[in-house]
Amino acid sequence: MRVRILGSAAGGGVPQWNCACAGCRTARATGVHRTQDGVAVTGDGSAWYLLNASPDVRAQLLAAPELAPGPGRRDTPVRGVVLTTAELDHAAGLLMLREAGALTVCGTGAVLDTLRTDLPLLPALARYTSLRVRCLTPGEPLDLDGGLTVRALAVGSKRPRYARGEPAGERVCALRVSDARGRAFVYATCLPEWTEAFDAFLAGADAALLDGTFATADEPARVAGLARTPREMGHLPIAGMLEAVRRHPGTRCLFGHLNNTNPYAHGGAVGPVEIAADGLTLAL
Ligand code: MLT
Ligand code: MN
Ligand code: ZN
């Protein structure tokens, strides 16, 4: 299996276009540039799936040689998108894929419903491309082209701000993608808590992209004057995860979905965990 980190920033990216905070100023000065969270995976090197489609997906695809079109005029290795949430930073890029001849979109029932009703991206997209929508039921494996299998674990109930209705289970999930050789990659960039179920979901994975939105619990208040805590925003801070990560020494762990308030958005490593970067590729 090959994995390409398409984008390593939280919603807004680093730097954020309208932000003059210390972190975004530093990013502008040093040239740090992170696009919004997303990954591409393949089992056979020719059929690729995107895990989330951020508003930056067009630039992310253009930057990825593995995802270049061809040999036919409109051939693309991109088969589809597996969504972990219906948040704008994960789903708005679906519209940027409308030129595809065909596209498969997978997500939990709650995510698909949100994208049919509150923000009807799926019906809109179906007017442009041959759209196949597949429901990803947590716990049930879903086979993808190229020998990949994806499983979802429901990890949170946070409702996107644009959506109506109560928070519901399966609005936020982690994904585990495996190939025919048993290699596995876990993608969990929206993780409100590290449960026993998540610990078991991660066990034995070769690599994992974890929620690196915030470094510490006080970061949103201290750096950005925000009232809500990371936990209320659905993101367990890095400081609260390191002990659990150490229980998985065989798994190459990276932090992604870095918010522009996070000092690690400027690089480095946190103990055994790497900080993800746009364009980083993993061969598992
Ligand atoms: C999140 O990750 O918490 C969401 O993307 C927040 C947002 O962009 O509104
Ligand atoms: Mn986000
Ligand atoms: Zn900023």
| pTM of the model as a whole | 0.98
CA distance 162 to 153: 23
DSSP the chain: -EEEEEE-B-TT-BS-TT--SHHHHHHHHHT--B-BSEEEEESSSSSEEEES--TTHHHHHHT-GGG---SSTT--SEEEEE-S---HHHHGGGGGGTT-SEEEEEE-HHHHHHTTTTS-HHHHHTTTSEEEEEE--TTS-EE-GGG-EEEEEEEE-PPPTT--S---TTSEEEEEEE-TT--EEEEES--S---HHHHHHHTT-SEEEEE-S-SSTTHHHHHH--SS-TTTTT---GGGTHHHHTT-TTSEEEEESB-TT-GGGG--EETTEEEP-TT-EEE-
Is the minimum distance from the CB of 37 to ligand 1 under 6 angstroms? no
For ligand 1, atom 8, which residue shows the shortest CA distance?
11
Is the minimum distance from the CB of 226 to ligand 1 under 6 angstroms? no
Q: From the alpha carbon of 87, which atom of ligand 1 is closest?
A: 5
**Closest CA relative to residue 134, chosen from 186, 74, 79, 54:** 79
Ligand number nearest CA of 223 is 3
Tell me, in angstroms, the distance from the centre of ligand 1 to residue 107's CA: 17
Mean pLDDT of 56-79: 97
Contact 23, 223 (CB under 8 A): yes
Going 9 to 5 to 147 to 131, the CA torsion angle's sign is: positive
- Binned at pLDDT 50, 70 and 90, residue 118 comes out as very high
For ligand 1, atom 3, which residue shows the shortest CA distance?
233
Q: Which of the listed residues 89, 90, 232 should we mutate to test ligand 1's pocket, taking the one with most ligand atoms within 8 A of CB?
A: 89
The identity of residue 127, as a single letter, is R
Mean pLDDT estimate for the chain: 97
Is the minimum distance from the CB of 15 to ligand 1 under 6 angstroms? no
Mean pLDDT of 150-159: 97
CA distance 75 to 65: 14
Whether residue 167 has pLDDT greater than 80: no
**Strands lying side by side in the sheet with 184-188:** 142-143, 149-156, 172-178, 184-188, 207-211, 252-256, 273-275, 269-270
Mean pLDDT of 226-231: 94
Is the minimum distance from the CB of 233 to ligand 1 under 6 angstroms? yes
The pLDDT value recorded for residue 266 is 98
Cis peptide bond N-terminal to 160, omega within 30: no
Tell me, in angstroms, the distance from the centre of ligand 3 to residue 17's CA: 8
Is the minimum distance from the CB of 74 to ligand 1 under 6 angstroms? no
Q: From the alpha carbon of 190, which atom of ligand 1 is closest?
A: 2
Q: From the alpha carbon of 213, which atom of ligand 1 is closest?
A: 2
Whether residue 168 has pLDDT greater than 90: no
Ligand number nearest CA of 158 is 1
The pLDDT value recorded for residue 193 is 96
Q: How far apart are the first and last CA of the chain?
A: 5
Ligand number nearest CA of 23 is 3
Tens of pLDDT, residue by residue over 24-38, are 999 999 999 999 999
> 265 phi and psi, to 5 degrees?
-60, -15
Contact 254, 211 (CB under 8 A): no
What percentage of the chain exceeds 70 in pLDDT?
100
Is the minimum distance from the CB of 172 to ligand 1 under 6 angstroms? no
Tell me, in angstroms, the distance from the centre of ligand 2 to residue 261's CA: 13
CA distance 205 to 66: 23
Is the minimum distance from the CB of 163 to ligand 1 under 6 angstroms? no
